[in-house]
Structure 1
Amino acid sequence: MADETDDGAQTGASAAPDAPEPTPAVEQTPRGGILTSVRSFAKRHRLGLGIAAGVVAFALLGTGAVLAGTSIATPVAPVAAPTPTATPTPTPTVDPARPRPAVLAAPAHVRSCSVAELAADGRLGSMQAQVRNAATGEVLYDRGGGTPSRTASVMKVLTTAAALDVLGPDFRAATTVVKGAEPGSVVLVGGGDLTLSRTPSGTRTVYPGAAHLDDLAAQVRAAWNADPQNPPLTKLILDSSLFGGPEWHDSWDTVERDEGYMSQITALQVDGDRNNPGAETSTRSSDPIGRAGDAFASELGGIQTIERGTAPGGTQQLGQVVSPTVAELVDKALIVSDNSVAEMLARLVAIHTGAGNSFDAINAGVLQGLAAYGVDTAGIHIVDGSGLSDFNAVPPSYLTQLFVKIEAREGNLGPLRDGLPIAGGPRGSLSYSDRFTGDASVADGNVFAKTGWIETGYTLSGIIHAQDGAVLTFAIYALDDVDDSAKQAIDALTAGFFRCGDNLSNL
């Protein structure tokens, strides 16, 4: 069809460029007869052939337009409609260059009750402290709480906690008498009971429930006389081998013994080696084993010789008396801070854990006992059971965690909780006239804590039932250049913790 159009254009151009003749009307013909009519017309009108050819071309173009897709155009296959498909939900993408808003955290509790002025009291010396909410475990206040330092008598909290686990609250230490290897001899075997008394049975000493030598002597005499083969009883052997090593730690000041706060530590002694069995503070001797031997020989009668030695194995037991229970000893160690009882418990813990029987074994023994409470003991070093040594090292943070367990009476800790001194009384070292006085008395009846004092520091650690109802655990160390007035500064700071409760600010 394109070729036909080109030919017609050339013919028309050469025919009559000036004025073409008018084109006669063309009769409509049926489809398919157009060419025949054109030829007939051309024969009759040769002069208008060019114009006719143009008309034919125009007609053919028009007809082609009308008849496209039939007899003239090449047939075109119909296009099938596309099958609709489901459009997937687009996955949202995050532009890494575009910051996303962070999830907003719940607003923190802003605590506003400050003890800054109380904590700045110069009487506190080099102060360390920590306070913890016992219910949540949250540390509310911290000043060097993670640094291990000397504890003074607060060490007794660790000692008694270990004893309650290792020995158990019902354990009693036994003092026995056995038949000696020589005829006419008996052996008094110390079992570590420093509370054994030389006073007559029925006499109340500083140790309620203590055993008495006259009772033990009566048992021995009865057993000895029951065998007619026995010769007269004339010799007493003293066995204090249960405890080994030095009797006095080289880091202790001997003033503690001379002024009546501590005895030498031996497995055989009476009344904590006090000159006065009825006085908490009483001068001690330099030979507690000898004092015990002399007192027992006097009760037995007829003894001509006293010497040191050890009991033979497998020999006959002639008598035995036992100490108060560990629970009762814990009370004594805490309420009046009895140093000798604390050392007795520490040494028995070391022995029963298999750590040893000397001062050097106390660290391993007590730490093994404390492991049962699940509080990390990293950084702790224990030199003695009483806390007299400057070389003990316990961070305040350990105490605040242990006291959470004590307040909850976990394991066997109930006697420890019951034995804590209470601010304002009715008994114990926090009921003394120089404790929780003045403004600090607001906390009377609500502070349950162990006191501590050595020449280089004053301490207090325990539990506070705060004014707002929160239960807090705390530890305060006033160390280095301090004097007795540090106690009042510690009490004032503790009362500040009581007033603030869970609103205590760390600022």
Structure 2
Amino acid sequence: MFKLCNFIFLIMLVGNVYTARIFAQESIDTVPQVNPLQELRNDLDALIESPDMSNAIIGACVQSIESGEMFYRLNESKNLIPASTIKIVTSIAALDYFGPDFRFQTNMYLDGVIQENGEYHGNVIIRGSGDPTMSEYFYAEPIKIIEAFAKQLDSLGISTIKGNIIGDDSYFDNIYYGPGWSWDDFMYPFSAQISALSINDNSISLEITPGDSVNSLSKYTLIPENNLARIFNYVMTSEPDKITDIITARDFKSNYIEIYGNIAFDSTKKRTHVQKIAIDNPTMFFLELFKSSLSKFRIRHNGALLPISMSQNPILYTNLLPIYTHVSPPLLEILKVVNAESHNFCAEMLLKTLAKETQGEGSFDKGTDYLLKYLKSNSITSDNIRIVDGSGLSRFNLFTPRNFVTLLNNIYRSNYREQFVKTLAEPGEEGTLLRRMKRSRAENNVKAKTGSMNNISSICGYVTTRDNEVLAFSIMMLNFTAPLTTAQNLQDLILMRLSSFSRK
């Protein structure tokens, strides 16, 4: 009887174990398997739902270029302020119209006669055509460009100029600022005046150093040296342990510049504080620097410095030949600065050059008209978007994440794919992504254009997945009150997740 009971118990135990295994297997078989793409979407949703960005408007669009499959969408058809990502439109339109090898030219003309004694009787005319490259972004010493013009006069045997030096900036109109630019930004180089004859990004630098003792007036150096800017220095030298705090102010329509505050004393004389300031009247700035360079070649000038608008007689260029031409670097190098460095001045100079060459008028309006026509040829209608400048500095610009992705897809399939992609910023490389996504898989797999203003941050471009699948993406964020770095960190996390995605 005892053995029978043990046998029955053993049968029941084995049966229960077998039944448990069956139920366990059935439960495994019935659990729905999440595919990798849906898992990716869930992860991106979780990232975007960050409490720090809960008050922000976020739009995103991610699409496979090869298959056209939409990886992720969020408010993808909503208009948001693109900030500097609108430079994507300006730069590809310029590349498409001019080609990668296009170069700007700035010409110098003489309309008079050189006497045997070295006196030149007549005007010296320098004619700009929108070259944005006479700056430290392209040349170690931009002032050497100006000196090359003066050197040419010296090589012709000119010792005295008896006539006017005329700066012809008529290639562009006389509207210096784009629609919707903030007036309180006008003194900063990122909002410098746009003129067809420009030098040094139409900006100056003030290198401020401590005085000889505490409570003494500070010292400054003006770079480049010029007679146009008038500096009023009220910066005092403070105790060595006090934080340097300097404020700069420039009158709206003048070059009267005041600097206030304090700079900490430094007995080693090594402490320097640099303030960069945009100047008013770029053409006169160019002419002042040119006149200064004449003295280096001992060329005297008896006459006036005149912008073309103040010249009484029209200039007939058909009767003149340039005696010197400065040629810019090729367009592709310029676009690298526009996109990787997010250079507003270069972008706007390109916009007005496009306007002049395609519409006959170098203006913001005509330039953006051309951009809208270019977008239309790329299946993006102008009915529900707005572009008013070429750099994205205006808050009047409106664009959607879906439109960016459509444009990026078209660029990738164009003949300019490799050239254009090389102009974009890369994590860890010089540019706007220098300190972002480093030591992650995204570092070598993201090429992008960034954009930011107060309470705005955007990024768009290309990301390559673990399967070497190239995705076009656009992420736009608006109205957040968290620090800018919080928005950028969220974008970086999204791109890290995309770069690590695999369908396998």
TM norm structure 2 = 0.69
User: Where does residue 498 of structure 2 map in the other structure?
Assistant: 497
TM norm structure 1 = 0.68
Residue 501 of structure 1 and its aligned partner are, at CA, apart by 5.3
Instruction: Answer 1 or 2: which has greater strand percent.
Output: 2
Residue 167 of structure 1 and its aligned partner are, at CA, apart by 1.4
Q: Secondary structure at the match of 1:242?
A: coil
1:184–1:234 contact (8 Å) kept in structure 2: yes
1:191 aligned to 112, 129, 142, which one?
Answer: 129
Q: Distance in 2 between matches of 1:281 and 1:161?
A: 33
One-letter amino acid matched to 1:111 = Q
Q: Secondary structure at the match of 2:39?
A: coil
1:294 aligned to 270, 273, 288, which one?
Answer: 288
2:86–2:391 contact (8 Å) kept in structure 1: yes
RMSD between aligned residues: 2.9
Q: Secondary structure at the match of 2:325?
A: strand
User: Where does residue 38 of structure 1 map in the other structure?
Assistant: none
Per the alignment, do residues 427 and 219 of structure 1 end up closer, same or farther by CA in structure 2, a change over 3 Å counting? same
2:82 aligned to 151, 154, 168, which one?
Answer: 151
2:37–2:503 contact (8 Å) kept in structure 1: no
Q: Distance in 2 between matches of 1:109 and 1:231?
A: 77
What per-residue deviation string (whole Å, max 9, x for no partner) do you get for residues 237-281 of structure 1?
Answer: 111111104101241124544343231101111011231479999
Residue 448 of structure 1 and its aligned partner are, at CA, apart by 0.9
Residue 370 of structure 1 and its aligned partner are, at CA, apart by 4.3
1:165–1:369 contact (8 Å) kept in structure 2: no
Per the alignment, do residues 346 and 414 of structure 1 end up closer, same or farther by CA in structure 2, a change over 3 Å counting? farther
Task: Give structure 2 stretches of 5+ with no counterpart.
Answer: 1-34, 114-120, 206-222, 225-272
2:108–2:324 contact (8 Å) kept in structure 1: yes
Q: How many residues align?
A: 379
Per the alignment, do residues 421 and 257 of structure 1 end up closer, same or farther by CA in structure 2, a change over 3 Å counting? same
Q: Distance in 2 between matches of 1:234 and 1:298?
A: 16
Residue 369 of structure 1 and its aligned partner are, at CA, apart by 3.9
Higher alpha-carbon Rg: 1
The yes-or-no answer on 1:427 pairing with 2:430 is yes
Between the two proteins, what is the percent identity of the paired residues?
Answer: 25
User: Where does residue 420 of structure 2 map in the other structure?
Assistant: 416
Residue 487 of structure 1 and its aligned partner are, at CA, apart by 1.3
What per-residue deviation string (whole Å, max 9, x for no partner) do you get for residues 436-491 of structure 1?
Answer: 26xx9342211111110012410000001112332111100110234412111221
2:355–2:370 contact (8 Å) kept in structure 1: yes
Residue 221 of structure 1 and its aligned partner are, at CA, apart by 3.9
User: Where does residue 146 of structure 2 map in the other structure?
Assistant: 213
The yes-or-no answer on 1:312 pairing with 2:250 is no
One-letter amino acid matched to 2:363 = S
1:243–1:357 contact (8 Å) kept in structure 2: yes
User: Where does residue 256 of structure 2 map in the other structure?
Assistant: none
Per the alignment, do residues 131 and 355 of structure 1 end up closer, same or farther by CA in structure 2, a change over 3 Å counting? farther
User: Where does residue 252 of structure 1 map in the other structure?
Assistant: 181
User: Where does residue 105 of structure 2 map in the other structure?
Assistant: 174
1:257–1:283 contact (8 Å) kept in structure 2: no
Q: Secondary structure at the match of 2:359?
A: coil
User: Where does residue 474 of structure 2 map in the other structure?
Assistant: 475
2:174–2:195 contact (8 Å) kept in structure 1: no
Q: Distance in 1 between matches of 2:467 and 2:166?
A: 61
2:409 aligned to 404, 427, 440, which one?
Answer: 404
User: Where does residue 160 of structure 1 map in the other structure?
Assistant: 91
Q: Distance in 1 between matches of 2:323 and 2:306?
A: 19
Q: Secondary structure at the match of 1:403?
A: helix
One-letter amino acid matched to 2:123 = S
2:189–2:202 contact (8 Å) kept in structure 1: no
2:179–2:389 contact (8 Å) kept in structure 1: no
The yes-or-no answer on 1:353 pairing with 2:291 is no
1:334 aligned to 331, 336, 339, which one?
Answer: 339
User: Where does residue 76 of structure 1 map in the other structure?
Assistant: none
One-letter amino acid matched to 1:419 = T
Residue 348 of structure 1 and its aligned partner are, at CA, apart by 0.8
User: Where does residue 488 of structure 1 map in the other structure?
Assistant: 489
The yes-or-no answer on 1:445 pairing with 2:376 is no
